[in-house]
Amino acid sequence: MPTTEKPPVTIRMRPGTPYPLGATWDGKGTNFALYSENAGGVELCLFDDAGVETRHPLTEQTAFVWHGYLPNVAPGQKYGYRVHGEYAPERGLRFNPNVVLLDPYAKALSGTEEFAEGVFGYVPGGDDLTMQTGEQRGAPLGVVIDPVFNWVGDTKPNVPFHQSVIYEAHVKGLTMTHPDIPEALRGTYAGVATGPMLDYLKELGITAIEFLPVHQHLDDPFLLDKGLTNYWGYSTLSFFAPDVRYSAEARKGNPSGAVAEFKNMVRALHDAGIEVILDVVYNHTAEGNHMGPTLSFKGIDNPTYYRLVAENPRFYFDYTGTGNSLNVRHPQTLQLIMDSLRYWVTEMRVDGFRFDLASTLARGLHEVDQLSGFFTIIHQDPIISQVKLIAEPWDVGEGGYQVGNFPVNWAEWNGIYRDDMRAFWKGEGGLASEIGYRLTGSSDLYQNDGRAPYASINFVTAHDGFTLRDSVTYEHKHNDANGEGNNDGHNHNISWNCGVEGETDDAAINALRGQQQRNFLATLLLGQGTPMILGGDEIGRTQDGNNNAYCQDNEISWYDWENVDEELLAFTRKVIALRKAHPSLHRRKFFSGRTIRGEDIQDLVWLRFDGQTMTDADWNNNQTQSLGLFLDGDGLDDVDAEGNALHDDDLLLLLSSSYVDLPFRLPDLDSCDNWELLLDTSDDNAEEQIKTGEETTLKARSVKLYRCVRG
């Protein structure tokens, strides 16, 4: 890229305003505003299509915001900043005007990072104490945007949390190989918005799609050196810009078009009745530790944006395992996060967020403080407090595992649910009471702090770990493709390969694997709480045993639409439909154990396989591997959207992780003549009607769901 600089004589800089931060076009020109309380000077750098730079000093400063207004600067203009000040890493200062920096508030980016053009504030090859004197122009540039978009007719689905079924997916992987999507749109926001993809998601029955990070991220040099990339994207560079990697417009040379393309995708999903939830990473940035690149925050105001070690501010606190942690104790960093969240809700119209390593955001000093400024501000915000808020309730720091400890209005990825369900279906004993809690919304974790069952985001698989198919195919990770000697990824997978490691032609083992996948899906979707399906699990997606495919932007991670397990897909659709059809399976309130009719019928009754009520001895017996859960249809204690009392069929859920078939006696109810089978994980085509009080055969490692038929 040329390094020619033009003198700033063609356009006269006006004072402008300190708010809003970022680049704001008003139809006649653009206001630029950048926060830096420790800088000695700031230059706005405009770039033309040939890469020629024009510098404009920002001489106005208000409350640490450097600002100025340029007439006739219009959407499409590329820009960056050079920030002057001390280069003194030992005191936490890393200013270097030789580095062109990305605006933290840029709404669109010119492209991806270019390491060959320089991204380091120090001289690579040594320590970080020697300032770089060569030109460093490898960071993406910001692009001025026109924010106008026609949202006429867009209506947010506003699906109540307790009725939600979440589908975790990657924008690129979801559509990259889909044969019915035009090749130019595969792997993009526009590809998700096509008819074939929307029809698929609607027919599946999910109510929300939770996208892995779409904020522009960085591809780490150590991955690029191995011919790999940061596919998952948990290395945020910009908290406002949709990643150009997933933009069909950017592929055509129009990177700022990614903004409207993303909005079009959101509108299309809303039209299909599907909410959009973003996986967001506000706990750290792509700039890494003291040896990482200088792309934006580090060179603009390092002490403001990062948690530095007080005794030696050259170094960073790292609660995330990525090299740094954002300094959420600083008001400006909190404002950055809140402005970003508000932007994605108001301008991009998303419906919620899943916060990666959310415990990091709660940290005051070292401890996790659930009343930290971050949560207080969110709860007071009239916009953000009204969308779906989901925490990944852990980080890698001391005391970072906080499942069950987040505030009211927050839902949580329930890692305890995942581990208990995996262990149960693996055949481990002593889990009866734990499974009882997990199937009923984890009241042990959420009932006593004002939350409801839907606060528990239930999942058995997610992007991090085995897929569902791999969890019944592999007991050990197979991550050789990552180039780390199979040393990366979890070793504690709680998986069972059904007798053979990896793929096999053995029909009996494959049948068992299919049944186990159905067991996981059935318990996930028929229990209380908010279910989250890992995208692709419903079609039998495999990663060949890779449980850490973060760097695999290829067929390992992409959906294989040419080899769909059609029977498993039909089963998943059926179970989702059953969940949505029966309010007893997605209650807003925890069970109370109250009597509904007669002395023996309660809203919930736990049964042994002989039809008797579970006793304390049964719950504590390590050999208990089967459970029956009776749900009284008159025990919902709830109303519908019109205020009418909710009623449902009486339902009976049976599950057994035993390796032998069991005779299971169905409840003998005066109000019930027959039990009609709705679902059997051992036989997709099973049909059965049994008189009340009689026995059925509960196959080894299977789930059955019945409804009471009266008259």
Among candidate residues 243, 120, 268, 125, the one with its CA nearest the CA of residue 191: 268
Question: Hey, what are 296's tokens?
Answer: 């934006």
- Which residues are annotated as catalytic? 356, 392
Q: 3-class SS at 424?
A: helix
**C-alpha torsion 45→46→51→53, nearest 10:** -50
Predicted pLDDT of residue 370: 61
Q: What pLDDT, on a 0 to 100 scale, did the predictor assign at position 361?
A: 80
pLDDT at res. 1: 45
Residue carrying structure tokens 């001390």: 86
pLDDT of residue 2: 47
Distance CA 215, CA 138 (A): 18
Answering whether pTM is above 0.85, one says yes
- What one-character DSSP code corresponds to residue 183? G
pLDDT > 70 in the chain, percent: 96
For the segment 318-335, the average pLDDT, to the nearest whole number, is 92
Closest by CA position to 304, among listed 23, 97, 21, 38: 38
Task: Name the pLDDT band for 8 (thresholds 50, 70, 90).
Answer: very low
Q: For 549-576, give one letter per residue: b (16+ CB within 10 A) or e.
A: bbbbbeebbbbebeeebeebbebbebbb
pLDDT in tens, 134-157: 999 999 999 999 999 999 999 999
**414-581 has which fold?**
TIM Barrel (3.20.20)
Residue 89 has pLDDT above 90, yes or no: yes
Per-residue pLDDT of 655-665, as tens digits, reads 999 999 999 99
Q: What band does 315 get if pLDDT is binned at 50, 70 and 90?
A: very high
Distance between CA atoms of 378 and 280, rounded to whole angstroms? 15
Q: Mean pLDDT over all residues of the chain?
A: 94
Q: Model confidence over 401-418: pLDDT tens digits?
A: 888 888 889 999 999 999
Instruction: Quote the CA–CA distance of 609 and 655 in Å, as a whole number.
Output: 10
Q: What pLDDT is stored for residue 358 in this prediction?
A: 86
Q: What's the mean pLDDT in 67-95?
A: 98
Q: Which of 462, 488, 477 is nearest to 223 (CA)?
A: 488
Task: Tell me the pLDDT band of 375, cut-offs 50, 70 and 90.
Answer: confident
Quick check: 137 and 97 in contact, CB under 8 A?
Answer: no
The two beta strands, 142-143 and 275-280, are unpaired
Q: What is the predicted pLDDT for the residue at 191?
A: 98
Report the first-to-last Cα separation within the chain, whole angstroms: 80
Please state whether the peptide bond connecting residue 20 to the residue before it is cis, i.e. omega within 30 degrees of 0.
yes
For 496-519, how does the pLDDT look when each residue is reduced to its tens digit (9 = 90+)? Answer: 999 999 999 999 999 999 999 999
For the chain, the domains span 22-144, 414-581, 592-709
**Residue 456: pLDDT above 60?**
yes
State the number of CA atoms in the 13 A half-sphere of 525 facing the CB: 33
Reading the block at residue 280, the tokens are 């967001």
pLDDT at 6: 53
Are residues 506 and 573 in contact, defined by beta-carbon separation less than 8 angstroms?
Answer: no
Give the whole-angstrom CA distance, residue 18 versus residue 62: 6
Beta partners for residue 485, in sequence order:
none
* 345: DSSP letter: H
Task: Give the DSSP H/E element, type plus range, for residue 691.
Answer: strand 689-691
The answer to whether 414-581 and 592-709 have equal CATH topology is no
Give the tens place of pLDDT for each residue, 261-289: 999 999 999 999 999 999 999 999 999 99
**101 DSSP β-pair partners:** 81
pLDDT band at 316 (very low <50, low <70, confident <90, very high): very high
Q: pLDDT per residue over 553-569, tens digit each?
A: 999 999 999 999 999 99
The per-residue pLDDT for 510 is 98
- Which of 26, 2, 168, 265 is CA-nearest to residue 530? 168
pLDDT of 366 higher than 70: no
Is residue 81's pLDDT more than 60? yes
CA dihedral sign of residues 94, 95, 97, 99: positive
Distance CA 587, CA 633 (A): 11
- In contact, 67 and 22? CB cutoff 8 Å: no
Report the sign of the C-alpha dihedral through residues 499, 503, 505, 511, in that order.
positive
- Residue 177 pLDDT > 90: yes
- Residue-level pLDDT at 362: 78
Q: What percent of the chain has pLDDT over 90?
A: 87
Residue 161 CA to residue 587 CA, distance in Å, equals: 10
| Residue-level pLDDT at 602 | 77
> Do 219 and 176 contact (CB within 8 A), yes or no?
no
Give the confidence band of 18 by pLDDT, cuts at 50, 70, 90. very high
Q: Is 221 a residue whose pLDDT tops 90? A: yes
Q: What pLDDT is recorded for position 599?
A: 46
Segment 669-683, tens digit of pLDDT: 888 899 999 999 999
Helix (H, G, I), strand (E, B) or coil at 195: helix
Count of C-beta atoms within a 10 Å radius of residue 196: 15
Query: Which stretches within 484-615 are classed as H helix?
Result: 507-526, 566-581
Q: Which residues have C-beta within 8 Å of that of residue 221, sequence separation ≥ 6?
A: 115
User: 592-709, what's its fold?
Assistant: Immunoglobulin-like (2.60.40)
pLDDT score for 415: 95
User: Over the stretch 588-632, which tens digit does the pLDDT of each residue have?
Assistant: 999 976 554 554 567 899 999 999 999 999 999 999 999 999 999
Q: What is the mean pLDDT of residues 515-542?
A: 98
For domain 22-144, the CATH superfamily is Immunoglobulins (2.60.40.10)
